[in-house]
Amino acid sequence: MEYELAQLTAQIKPLDPQWTARAQERLDSLTKPPGSLGRLEELAAQYAAIREEIFPPLQIKRVVVFAADHGVVAEKVSAYPQEVTFQMVYNFVRGGAGINVLARHVGARVEVVDIGVNHDFEPDLNLISRKVAYGTRNMAKEPAMTREEALRAVWVGVERAQEALEEGVDVLAAGDMGIGNTTAAAALTAVFTGRPAGAAAGRGTGIDASTYNHKIAVINRALALNKPTADDPLGALAAVGGLEIAGITGLILGAAAARRPLVLDGFIATAGALVAARMAPAVTDYLIAAHRSAEPGHQLMLDHLGLKPLVSLQMRLGEGTGAALGISLLEAGWRIYREMATFEEAGVAGKE
């Protein structure tokens, strides 16, 4: 399967600047001063270049929420117990979570994927069952996953992207659910950015100062024990990552290989982007950073990837909530690009 993953990543090429220029020419012909709609224009040009179409469709939107548990919760790094993961999955499939509300707001479908929840769900639940394991192992005592498990989880994400595109999806967004996953994301941030765990880790679900200091110590213990390196992204993911982070990694790679944008949520989703970008550097051309999370390590991630968040609303829920808002902004830019009159069409004099 590593060979197939290498084949997939080889398909991901940087955006063609000629397509960006063609889109910008269209934007500059619209009834406004050049560049006056700022990042909305950037989004429109990026979308046209990703799709390599002058007027690409943007109708079908999907948020894929990967859910998984983390063995490191045994180290008492979270304010919430592990069973919240499976309880929230039920909330997602019933439509009652924050991501369900915001997805309805932007007209996106939510797909929930059990990639590693420590719970057996009923077979008739509106849930994509792709369980690789019943959660990860405790990374402070052993690798979180085997290399094979990490690879299988990445491939689950690739297949979710491929199936979505077969169904005509125009834009994908990545979301997550997993108690303890900010610990894994912080560990990956330290590995890929080279920054210390204390700079990468935040308060997650709202832990107190004592638990926060303990969380940093746990991350440092996991890094010292497992010795993950950025030069082996799959190995690093297996050592200190999470099954849902691996799924997000695959979703990003699958979307980019098929020339679709991937709208990132916050800290957890961007951890998947760190791994994906190390596997295929050109993948960053296909990413849209929806927002800057309140987690302090998120800015480290964004800086490392060279991404500029669209908004900063002090959000830290996860689930794909920030990404849903990013879809809305992408669609706003696309509608400007598609629907706004040109100077010639409107009979308005252009710049002298």
Distance CA 27, CA 17 (A): 15
CA atoms within 13 A on the CB side of 327: 32
One DSSP character per residue, 251-265 reads: HHHHHHHTT--EEE-
Distance CA 78, CA 75 (A): 9
Distance CA 136, CA 246 (A): 11
How open is the CA angle 292-67-272, to the nearest 5 degrees? Answer: 45
Question: Which one from 163, 319, 331, 344 is the annotated catalytic residue?
Answer: 319
- Among 54, 106, 33, which Cα is nearest to 337's? 54
**CA 121 to mean position of chain CA atoms:** 25
Non-local (6+) Cβ contacts of 89 within 8 A are: 67, 112, 114, 117, 119, 121, 127, 177
Query: In 123-183, where do the E strands start and end?
Result: 128-129, 171-177
Tell me, yes or no, if 319 is annotated catalytic. Answer: yes
Q: Which amino acid is at 64?
A: V
Please state, in angstroms and as integers, the Cα–Cα distance from residue 79 to each residue in 122, 220, 298, following that order: 27, 20, 20
**CA 290 to mean position of chain CA atoms:** 9
Give me the active site residues, please.
319
